[in-house]
Amino acid sequence: MEQSSSIFNFRTLRTPVIIVSMYMLLEIVFRIYNFGAYTAVNWYKYNPQGILLKDMAMPVDDPNISWKLRPNAHGLLKTKPFNTNSLGFRNTEFAVNPGEGSQRIICLGRSITMGSGVSDDETYTHLLQKYFDDWKPDSVEVLNCGVGGYSFKQMLDYYESYVAPLNPDIVLIPMSPRDMARGDYRTPPPLSAAKTSLTNLKYYLSFTFSYNVMKTIVKRFAENVIAVDWNERVADIGKAKTEPTSSEGLLAEFIKRRSSEGVKCYFFAPDRRGEKQGYDTSEIETFLSQFEDADFLSINDYMDQRIPDKKYIYFPDTHPSAEMHAILAGALFQELKVKVDRN
């Protein structure tokens, strides 16, 4: 009887043990192929978690912002070194006021500007600084003020509270047609609610890249058979929203404030898909044409001619690779050096 019971227990556990073993083997192969053998050892250190789970963000009192990068944060983000300075920016240390005779460019943005999945010295902001240093030393200062996970409205609110005191001459803002189409914005959750709970299975799966791969594959399959906006519908339930405000209204107010301060705003559309067809930016360009101190930087032609084989940091994460950051920096430099010369 005891022998039968043991056999039964083994047969019961065999299937889940096989599934878990195959999952772990797949994860190890994926890590070695994409990031190197060293990442297959310490899963707690090398994983695809974002800044919230990595404890690289801190809560703020303003409910419209909810969180910002933690000052003096040091660690790894998606296997790459990630560090912030004493003011909480992914940048080297800098003075609050720009140096005499130097123009300061503030780079706003979210995960692409912040540099998700690339090292500190591989971000387009860092490389853009190098371009300016080689061109005219000490003439331009480029600061990375991107924060991952922000909505477009959060990004603009963040500027008002934490970036405006840095006295920029130019604000560089990435913007997609999807940002332009937004008509309302949810109040962001507090940082504690935005993090995945330790009691949630998703937290433990977040230590593996395979989870993201399978989630993407399932999502692409599901898009062909069910409504693709179900996730947004669910998120609407019980979630507070701000007053309905169009992106155009937010931007118009933002640009007018910067103009009154003598700050010029330049926009560009980074195509995180890395595909040659790019975005249709005509709506953004038409909107910006009404403002004297705002302009759209057309980088599509430059980017299209240089798209590398490795466009993303890994499949299925579509954040730009280090190669794409380098090309984006070159494209922005070609456009911005003309603007800087005019100032």
Would you give per-residue pLDDT tens digits along the chain (343 residues)?
455 555 556 567 788 888 999 999 999 999 999 999 999 999 999 999 999 999 999 999 999 999 999 999 999 999 999 999 999 999 999 999 888 889 999 999 999 999 999 999 999 999 999 999 999 999 999 999 999 999 999 999 999 999 999 999 999 999 988 888 776 678 899 999 988 888 899 999 999 999 999 988 888 777 666 554 544 544 444 445 555 578 899 999 999 999 999 999 999 998 655 444 456 888 899 999 999 999 999 998 899 889 898 999 999 999 999 999 999 999 999 999 999 977 6
Tokens of 203: 């937290």
pLDDT value at position 182?
74
Torsion from C-alpha of 19, 24, 25, 27, nearest 10 degrees: 130
User: Which of the 8 DSSP states describes residue 118?
Assistant: S
d(CA 90, CA 240): 30
Strand pairing category for 170-174 and 264-268: parallel
Bridge partner list, 268: 174
pLDDT value at position 242?
53
d(CA 59, CA 66): 6
Packed helices 124-135 and 322-342: angle between N→C axes, nearest 10 degrees:
40
Please give the distance of CA 292 from its chain centroid, rounded to a whole number. Answer: 29
d(CA 267, CA 299): 10
Tokens of 49: 């978690």
Q: Which residue type, as a one-letter code, is found at position 159?
A: Y
User: For 99, phi and psi rounded to 5 degrees?
Assistant: -65, 155
Contact (CB, 8 A) for 122 and 115: yes
pLDDT value at position 235?
46
CATH number of 57-188+241-342: 3.40.50.1110
User: For 113, phi and psi rounded to 5 degrees?
Assistant: -65, -45
Tell me the CA distances in angstroms from 197 to 60, 73, 149, one per residue in order: 20, 22, 17
pLDDT value at position 17?
86
Q: Hey, where are the domains in the chain?
A: 2-40, 57-188+241-342
Strand pairing category for 74-77 and 80-83: antiparallel
